[in-house]
Amino acid sequence: MANLVIQGPSRLNGALSVHGAKNSTLPLMAATLLCDGECVLHNCPQLSDVDASTRILRHLGCKVIREGSTVTVDARNAQYWDIPDALMREMRSSIVFLGAIINRMHKATLSFPGGCELGPRPIDLHLQALRKMGVLIEEDHGCLSCSVPEHLKGASIGLSFPSVGATENILLAAVCAEGITVVSNAAREPEICDLADFLNACGAKIHGVGDSTIIIEGVRHLSGCEHRVIPDRIAAATYLSAAAVTGGDIELKDVVPAHLLPVLPVFEESGCEVSVDQNRIRLKAPDRLSRVKSIRTMPYPGFPTDAQAPIMTMTCLAKGTSIFVENIFESRYKHVGELLRLGANIKVEGRVAIVEGVERLSGAPVEAADLRGGAALVVAGLAAGGITRVGGIHHIDRGYENIEDSFKTLGAEIKRI
C-alpha cells in the first residue's frame, strides 16, 4: 500500500486552484442516468469515488468517457437495475444511485453501501421517502429489492433530519414522478443546489432549493445538458487549515466563498487574516494561532462535519483550549488517537473533544482510518517537526485529487511512496 511521507514543518505559501466537489460530482453522475441525451460534466475531480461511480454507470449500461476533468455520460442504452455488492461497498455515496435507478427502470436491486466507517449512517430516511412515492422495498440480509408496481407518485415527505443523501434520492426519484412532491426539512447544502441546477437545466421543475422546503413538479422526461461542478468547499477548508497551522500565506482560486461562510469565522477567531474576492480566498496566518472557543458540527449552513478533523488539527498547535462537539456522526474522532502519536493533547468524552494546544508536534508513523481524518493527519504532518508517514491513503484518495501535488504547489515537502 502507498504512503505519504512528509518532511516538516513546512510554511505553506502560494496559490492553488480548488478541484471540483466530490459530494457534488457523485449525485450528478447518478442523475445522468435519467437523461435521454448526452450529459457533459466539467470540473470533475480525479478521485477513486468518481472512478467507482463511473464503473457503476458502465455496469448499468451507460457509455462513460473521461477526458481530463470532463466526464461525458450517455445513458440512452442503460438497461440494468442492479449494482453488484463489490461496487456498492467501494463508497458510502453509492446509495444515491437508488433513486435514479428506480426512476429510470422502475426497479432496483442493490446492497447496503460501504465507505468510511463513521458510525451508523442509516438509510431509513431514504427508504421511508421512496415508500411514500409508491416504491415497494424488501430488505433481506443487507440486500434491497425495490419495485414500482405502477408509476412513481408525488408525495408530501417530511424528513426527521435534513439528510443530504435522502434529499438527493428524493430529488432523483421525484423529477419524473406523477404529480408534485413536497420535501419538508430538506438538506440545504450547496451540493443539493448544484444537483437541482443540473436537473433543472435538463428540464426538471424544482423550486425552493437552498431553503428547507423543496417542491418538485414531475416531468415526463429529461434531456442531456452541459454542467460545471461546483468547487469542493471541504477541500478548500482543508487547505486553509494547513496554511493556518503552518503559519502560511496562501490564496485559493476557483472557490465559492459563500459556501465557506460557516468555516471562515473559525480562521478569523484563530488570528488569521482572511480576505475574500469573488472566486478567491486569501489566508495569512499569525506566527501562532489562538484557540477557537467552541465548534459544533451542524447541517448546512452550520459548521460542516467534514471540516471538523482538519480544523481540529489546526487547533492542536493553537494557544489555549478549543472545544469540538460532533453532532452528525458518532465515530468521527478516529483521527484523535493518531494525532496523539504526533504529540497532540486531546481528550474525548462521547461527542465532545477538548484540545489543549501544544507548542510543537513531532513526526511519527500514522494511519488514516477515514477520508477527512486522513486529510487531518496530512495537515498535522505538514506542521510537525521531522518525518511523518501517513498510511491508509486510499481513504484520502476518495476525496482529494493528488493531495501531495496540491501541497507541493504550496511549498510542502511531501511525496507518495
Any known ligand binding at 22? yes
Separation CA 92–CA 287 (nearest Å)? 39
Cell of 372: 477527512
First vs last Cα of the chain: how many Å apart?
Answer: 9
CA nearest neighbour of 26 among 402, 398, 405, 306 = 398
Flag whether 288 is marked binding: no
Residue 339 in 3-state DSSP?
Answer: helix
Looking at 102-179, which runs of residues are DSSP E strands?
Answer: 107-111, 136-140, 143-147, 156-158
**Joined grid coordinates for residue 47:** 478521485
Contact, 185 vs 192, CB < 8 A? no
Residue 319, annotated ligand binder?
Answer: no
Is 121 marked as binding a ligand? Answer: yes
Is 92 annotated as a binding-site member?
yes
Question: Is 125 marked as a binding-site residue?
Answer: yes
Report whether 4 belongs to an annotated binding site: no
- Residue 51 neighbours by CB under 8 Å, 6+ apart: none
Annotated active-site positions, please?
A: 116
Residue 23 in marked binding region: yes
Residue with cell 507548542: 359
Residue that the C-alpha cell 482538519 belongs to: 310
Q: Return binding residues.
A: 22-23, 92, 121-125, 306, 328
Query: Known binding site for UDP-N-acetyl-alpha-D-glucosamine: residues?
Result: 92, 121-125, 306, 328
Q: Which residues are annotated as a binding site for phosphoenolpyruvate?
A: 22-23
